A and B are shown apart, each in its own frame.
Chain A
Amino acid sequence: MTTQAVRLFRRMDGLLAVYKPQGVHWKLVRDTIETNLLKELNSCPPPAPQLAVQFQLLSSGENNGSKDLILSPSMLPTLADHPLVTGPQFHKVHVGVGHRLDAFSSGVLVLGVGKGNGVLEHLCKSHVTRDYTLEGEFGKATDNFSHTSRVIEKTTYDHVTQDKLERVLAMIQGANQKALITYSQVDLSTQEAYELAARGLLYPHGKSPPILTGLRCIHFNPPHFTLEVQCVNETQKYLRKLIHEVGLELRTSAVCSGVRRTRDGPFKVEHALTRQHWTADSIIQAIAHFRKTTRKIRKSGMYRQTAGQLNSSAKIQEQITSQTGQSEQTGQEHVQLTSPTSDIIVEKVTPGTLGEREVK
């Protein structure tokens, strides 16, 4: 007989996306979510206490009429099972964090609850890219690339035009494309590699430095400008440094006034929970909403593991790029960049077709 609390606990299994506000450490977010889940679980009624035979001094019945006290047994609930003595039913809910965000940044933060933590592992090992919006400001340089810290240098920026900015961005993109090809360990003179590159399915193997797969300027209003970036293996400090380097290339200086993650793999900002919704009901709803995505990530993770055991490099490449790769463009078409990742493509790759490719 499962209690209400246990049934509620079993519904808390899966992945969800949360919008982390700026200035808040990611650990605080994780702790708040865990506290809210525990509060809901412990507010469920506790299991009934055990009964035990206790001897009590009760007055004898109306037979005697006198006030003789005799020991009579009765079944009473033991106080040892009282919630004030045993404590709360649940002490911990496993809540894990996917790709972390530092305190200065804001945006989508993927959390895994309960059994979803295993799937979170698969998500982190897979090569999903992340989407960022970087706000920059020309004219200043600071010691840690953000607009709140100590200013080191001030420069003029009148000479900067959108055209120049675009040129610098194209140059950075080119360098990143080269890095992508190098780290994807693919010989570009082969037909296979050319096709992958044309479809945008290259991605870096193993350890690699941060690589930008997409970069463009959304908004240009000197001194402020906004860049949109898709990247792999990045840290938020690297992205702020990128803004600084863009400034340097333009013969001026720039600081980053905001880093905002709009997408982490298949988790987008539209369905991320804001602070008001960090309650147990909304969390469970969000977990239910992302159930399909979670299943696909788990399946692709399992495929990757079995493929790793089969130990064939070409097969691995094809499987993984098709499972987790998105149709990555080099930043030209906006619509395709934000298309869902593993939804369509995993369905095509089934064990049947795998067998076919093997035969070929």
Chain B
Amino acid sequence: MHLCQRCVSLLLSRPLSAALQPSTRTLQQRSHHVLLQLSRGQPPVHSLTQRHGRETWTSFGRRNLTDHQAASSELYNNKTDLAQREVGKHVVPLENSNVHQISSQASLSDIGLDAVVRPSPLQEISEEEAVQIQVPSALPPDSFTLRPYVDKSETLSKLVQLGVNLWELERRPNVGSMLVRLDFHADVAPKLLFLKDLGVEESKLGTLLTKNPFILTESLDNLEARVSYLKTKKFSQESVAAMVSKAPYLLNFSVERLDNRLGFFQQHLGLSAEKTRNVVTRLPRLLCGSLEPIKENLKVCELEFGFRGNEIQHIVTTVPKVLIANKRKLTQIFDFVHNTMDVPHSLIAKFPQVLNAKFLRIRERHLFLEYLGRAQYQPSQPNYISLDRLVFLPDDVFCSEVALATLEDFERFQKTL
């Protein structure tokens, strides 16, 4: 009993302070925070703690619509004392989350506190008192998914209507909490308008935000600075819009980094400014990733494959993907095409699309043609088959036009490989 009295006195003192100072953290908040820290290695938990005072929630069960600010602060108060607050009690709330630590069987009436007045629910109260009734929000303080928050949060609803895949985003660590805490009118709307002014299509905004939600936390000045930098490098408006759609992380990189990358491409590849711009517009991912794999790929082309400088330039301008392709797969394809199919360097440089194709496809088609006796890759000889036709035609067209056989024959041949 002594213990209970001590805890009850704790109870009485605590909620008073909490009610008077909205920014005080109660023990409940702290316990939730501890739980969050403990569960860091587990699926991300989206929490509402550490919110700033601004209210973006549509208030439910609120009869007072005029005083929005007051409503917001009261609602925030509600969340600090979320558990077990009796409705209809406008006096200091007695129960807090600490209750569950004490035996719940020990009700207050047993202890005999006359200081607490509990009005019956059937008692009539005045309008002012009715207005002050605070209904705790039904939102959980933390959850594993964004589902409980979507309907209540303006930001999240608008994002879903735009087409942002919240399910994918909530699996990434901390992204869900970040999205929940964003304010639509202050943070999200200006960035969306900025992207729209840039020229990004509305249908692509959803995928862009799904891949890069951090564009919403980047400051608008930085974004505008980077776009103006790209424009000084003579990228047209449409090309900047296309680049941002294809590489959503582009505008999160600093101006120095973009400058560094562009300088590298112009210098190492030896291309003119116009061609560099063309390559970068078609594959803006070059500006986003690290330069080391690109340098390695260039070395591989030069030393292992034996291409000359101008051939490499032509390959890169035709198929920029060669720069970020997997080294092992690239080597496998080149080895097969050059050594097994006996295609010289000049022809491969003329049709670099073959380096971008799937190895199995090239291998099966070449072996089929060889079996039929039609594997002729020299332009000077009759019945010449160009490499791009070998690789790019769909199966039925390839069989009918190039191999002059039926699709069933090709499948039967595939089963003998």
Question: Residues on A close to B: CB < 8 A?
Answer: 19, 21-24, 52, 54-55, 71, 78-80, 82, 84-88, 106, 260, 269, 272, 274-276
Contacts and interface: CB of A to CB of B under 8 A. Distances in A.
Contact of B414 (A24, A71, A274): A274
A259 to B, nearest CB: 12
B60 interface: yes
A85 B395 contact: no
A86 B147 contact: yes
B166 A84 contact: yes
| Closest 10 pairs between A and B when the two form their complex, measured CB to CB | A87-B167, A80-B147, A79-B150, A85-B166, A274-B414, A84-B165, A80-B150, A274-B411, A79-B151, A85-B150
Contacts of A21: 360, 364, 414, 417
Contact of B164 (A54, A55, A71, A84): A84
Contact of B148 (A23, A52, A80, A86): A80
Contacts of B60: 55
B157 interface: yes
B118 interface: no
B415 A276 contact: no
B227 interface: no
A301 B338 CA distance: 52
Contacts of A106: 417
Contact of A275 (B146, B150, B163, B360): B360
A80 B151 contact: yes
Contact of A269 (B145, B157, B164, B415): B415
A79 B145 CA distance: 13
B411 A276 contact: yes
A141 to B, nearest CB: 22
Given A79-B157, A84-B163, A85-B167, A274 B415 contact: yes
Contacts of A71: 65
Given A19-B414, A79-B160, A86 B151 contact: no
A261 to B, nearest CB: 11
B263 to A, nearest CB: 39
A275 B414 contact: yes
A260 B364 CA distance: 15
A82 B395 contact: no
B414 A84 contact: no
Contacts of A54: 151
Nearest to A54: B151
Nearest to A272: B415
Contacts of B167: 84-88
Given A54-B151, A88-B167, 13 more contacts: A21-B364, A22-B417, A55-B60, A78-B150, A79-B156, A80-B150, A84-B166, A87-B168, A106-B417, A260-B416, A272-B415, A275-B360, A276-B395
Contacts of A24: 360
A16 B343 CA distance: 39
A329 to B, nearest CB: 24
Contacts of B166: 84-85
Interface in B155-192: 156-157, 160, 163-168
Nearest to B162: A84
B360 A23 contact: yes
Contacts of B160: 79, 82, 84-85
A89 to B, nearest CB: 11
Contacts of A82: 150, 160
B146 A85 contact: yes
A268 B163 CA distance: 47
A88 B167 CA distance: 9
Contacts of A88: 167
A21 B148 CA distance: 47
A303 B94 CA distance: 69
A21 B358 CA distance: 13
A7 to B, nearest CB: 24
8 contacts: A21-B360, A21-B417, A55-B60, A79-B151, A269-B415, A274-B414, A275-B360, A276-B411
